Amino acid sequence: MAAEELTIVFKHGTLDAEFALRSIQAELAERHVPSTAFELYEKPVDLAEVWPRLKRVGRKTFNLVGRGFVFDLGSVRNFQLDFLGIKATGEHRSAWDKWAGWFIGNPNFVMGWLADVEYEHWQNAHDPLQYTAVGKPYEHLPKKSNELPPPLEQTIIDISGNPGRRLLRAGYYEVVGAVMWLGEPFWQLTKANKVAVEQAQWLRVSNPLPTVVRIEASTKCFTTDEGAVGELQRNLRALLFPESAASRQVA
């Protein structure tokens, strides 16, 4: 079943697990989603029990699954960011602005984007085993060395030209989505020209909050890297991540 995922990024150490869970519980309650039939790290749990369990063991991250949702809270210390992934299937793939609204008002909010789960997965799959495991052909794809010393050296899929690639950067992800929410820290981190983004005629730009820019490049999640849709993603990457675009041109 097709799935979409909203990923929210905060400054490192600022996306509190209790706050995230309270927001998730509140949104699910508004949708009249029962609090039962969830699993926390593959163990049955009622939503009301999640935070007490995490607090008891001193855990600041979580993987919560149930009722057509997957919630993943994590932290990447080496890249100084926290993230929350909200994945939904079927009828739950809607009202993403409502989900985003629980988080984008925080001053530590950096960015958020909406993606088709399958498309983003294969745009970032670099290990041939990911293809052979599901019988998916990859012979036609570009390849390169992983540049590790023997005996660790091996040939991998070269995803550097994929417009849907997702790269970890210091404090943010270099990635594009059909819909994106950008907080004030985003502009400082990426050196993107905020005025140029707001004036881009090929984007639908709005301000759900004074400190947040919402951009809509497409009414549907990207599901292909070909043709006009692929070019749209490339243009969006160049606009939002100018330093990376410049380095690629020099190379």
Full domain range(s) for residue 224: 3-124+159-250
The domain tally of the chain equals 1
Task: Identify whether 95 is part of a domain.
Answer: yes
40-59: string of b/e by CB count within 10 Å (b at 16+)? Answer: beeeebebeebbeebeeeee
* pLDDT above 90 (res 249): no
Coil vs helix vs strand at 89: strand
User: Amino acid letter at 246?
Assistant: A
Q: How confident is the model at residue 92 (pLDDT cuts 50, 70, 90)?
A: confident
Beta-carbon-side half-sphere exposure of residue 17 (alpha carbons within 13 Å): 19
**Per-residue tokens: 235:** 């243009």
Task: Check residue 244 and give its pLDDT.
Answer: 85
Task: Identify whether 201 is part of a domain.
Answer: yes
* pLDDT above 80 (res 91): no
pLDDT digits (tens, 9 = 90+) for 29-65: 999 999 999 999 999 999 999 999 999 999 999 999 9
Task: Identify whether 146 is part of a domain.
Answer: no
Give the DSSP letter string of 39-73: EETTEEE-HHHHHHHHHHHT---EEEEETTEEEEE
Task: Identify whether 240 is part of a domain.
Answer: yes
pLDDT digits (tens, 9 = 90+) for 93-124: 779 999 999 999 999 999 999 999 999 999 99
pLDDT digits (tens, 9 = 90+) for 229-238: 999 999 999 9
Q: Within 10 A of 219 (CB to CB), how many other CB atoms are there? A: 8
Task: Identify whether 143 is part of a domain.
Answer: no
Rg (alpha carbons) of the chain, rounded to whole number: 19
Phi, psi of 17 (to 5 degrees): -60, -40
Task: Identify whether 131 is part of a domain.
Answer: no
